Amino acid sequence: MTKLNRWSNIFNWLAVIALAINLLMVFFYAPVELTMGNVQRIFYFHVGSAWVGAVTLGIALICGVLYLYRPKPLYDILGMASVEIGVVFVTMTIVAGSVWGRPAWNTWWTWSPRLTSITVMWLVYVAYFMLRGAVEDEQKRARFAAVYVIAAFITVIMTYVSIRLLRDIHPVVFGDAVEGVQAGAEGLQEFSGVDSIRMVLTLNVSVVAFSLLYVAWLLNRYRLQLLINRANMLKARVAARMQGDSLSVADAEEMRPATTD
């Protein structure tokens, strides 16, 4: 526990520092984009959170697979925490994208395939908590959550594949050269010269900063869950004491032998 405390503190500070550097770079280091102007700066926030969000949900998937393979509570907690954080990142992506869309497409929202599928993805992961909330038994809850997260990841794949296959208004940022040129044509500044290096660097720092934020949140969430578990156990123990039920909770060892002989 103390080791965990230390690590979460370290990552809390790392995340704060990285985000501060990132913010400074977004506003003072990255160049003003030609067509969009200053509004484009939200793009670093948007892409950073989208990228880290997808990775986070991928980690939730891995935790789910690991849990089914070997049902340890650790995997369940990490999986749940990753989904929670992933939902926050996806929400940030949608909000930032919407703010960007207003000047770029002249509307806050449009039902293009990419925007629709990320909304669907968001709904799928919010429903994850509905499922968890409906199962009382801990092991069953963890098992169902693991199965659900595996099925849910299909929507993540579909979201990130659909943009490649369906015609869309949304620009492609990560991709091959042809798509990069398309993206340039569709409104983002052509990546060329010093400006483009500065943009790419800022974007990379965003991704790193958000990744550190993810690790910090994950550790904090894990610590919180351990505390919740401990509180629950103490509560159960107190309840058992008050009922005079010496058998419950962790007192199995103290059980009295049968007195018939």
- For another protein, the binding residues (CB under 8 A) are 68, 113, 116-117, 120, 123-124, 127, 130-131, 134-140, 143-144, 146-148, 150-152, 154-155, 157-159, 161-162, 165-166, 232-233, 236, 247-249, 252, 255-256, 258-260
**Residue closer to another protein, measured from CB, 2 or 259:** 259
Give me the least distance between CB of 220 and another protein, in Å please: 24
The DSSP string of 88-150 is HHHHHHHHHHHHHHHHHHSSS----HHHHHHHHHHHHHHHHHHHHHH--SHHHHHHHHHHHHH
Q: What is the largest CA-CA distance in the chain?
A: 92
Nearer to another protein, 24 or 234 (CB): 234
- Our CB check for another protein shows the closer of 2 and 137 to be 137
Q: Are 243 and 235 in contact (CB under 8 A)?
A: no
Radius of gyration of the chain (CA): 23
- By beta-carbon proximity to another protein, the closer residue of 39 and 68 is 68
Q: How far is the CB of 144 from another protein (least distance, A)?
A: 5
CA dihedral 69, 74, 78, 79 (to 10 degrees): 30
- 52 CB contacts (<8 Å, ≥6 apart)? 89, 207, 210, 211, 213, 214
Task: Find the shortest distance in angstroms from Cβ 154 to another protein.
Answer: 5
Least distance (Å) between residue 226 CB and another protein: 15
- For another protein, the closer of residues 63 and 207 by Cβ is 63
CB of 168 to another protein, least distance (A): 11
